[in-house]
Each structure stands twice: as C-alpha cells, then as structure tokens.
Amino acid sequence: DEESESDDDDVIGPMPPKPGELDAFSRSQASDIERRAQAMKDKIEGKDEKVVTRESWMLELPDAKAKHFGLGPRSFSRKGTTELGDRSGWTETPEDKERRARGEQVEREGEDEEEERKRKEYLINKARDEEMSKVTEKLKKKRGSESLLDMHEKERKKKSKK
C-alpha cells in the first residue's frame, strides 16, 4: 500500500492519453482551434458585433437635489435655490461635439419641455415662498421675534420665582 502511494508521488502533471483516447484527444484539440479561429474571423469581419445599449440612468446626470441627499446639515438652506448652469457637457456624445464644431444645432429630445416644466415649478415655488414669508412676518409682529421655547422658559421662571 505504501509502495503505490510513493509511485504516485513521482508523477507530476496530467496523465498522458491512453492509446485508444489519442485520436479523440487530437480531434477535440483540432475542433477547439477551429472554433477559436472562426470566432476571431467573425470578430475581425464584424459579424458578431454586439451593440452596447445603456440605460438612461447611466447616461444622464442625476437631479441636482439628489447630489447631497442625506448629507449635510439637517436644516433649511438659507441661500435659497441656486442655478447650476449648463450641464449638457456631461452628457454630450462625440457625435454631438462634431455637430457643434461644424456649427450645426445639437438637438436634445425633451429639453424644451423640461426647461418649461422647471420654469413653471420655479414660479410656483417662488409664489409659495413669498406667501409664506408674509405669513411669517405677520406672526412675528403678532407674537414678537421670540421663540415659543423662550416664551415658555420665561413663564416657568416667573412661576418659580413666585
């Protein structure tokens, strides 16, 4: 038993094919080489060319408000809304760049509708903000600029002194 184990230790690498398996082995190698050669020929001729299509989320920038989602201070912005400017350079394709270089108009689908929607949304938000600021001013005049917490603490101090 120990002799058979020691015989196996001397063999390194795969076992050579047995006399009957030699033809099948060489045929499988030849067919493998032919298959790879045909695949390379198809690739060179462009027969197996696959068109890569990417989903829109890979090609477009996310909304500006999603940029810092969940990050930063948990309070309202004191600056208001800021315009980010032209962001079309990020999603511009090489074909669009060539057209622009030739002086042709680069057309974007849905851009006018998107701009119109953003403009309407901005006007609605602006009107709402103005109305809310008026309400805030009324409340400040009515109650003073003191917060409810400050008013409550003052009352508690007065009661505790008595």
pLDDT digits (tens, 9 = 90+) for 144-161: 777 888 889 999 999 998
Q: Phi, psi at residue 95, to the nearest 5°?
A: -65, -40
Q: How confident is the model at residue 107 (pLDDT cuts 50, 70, 90)?
A: low
Look at residue 144 and give its three-state secondary structure.
Answer: coil
Distance CA 153, CA 102 (A): 71
Task: Tell me the residue type at 46.
Answer: G
pLDDT for the residue numbered 36: 94
Structural contact between residues 106 and 100, judged by C-beta atoms closer than 8 angstroms: yes
- Single pTM value for the model: 0.26
The count of residues in the chain is: 162
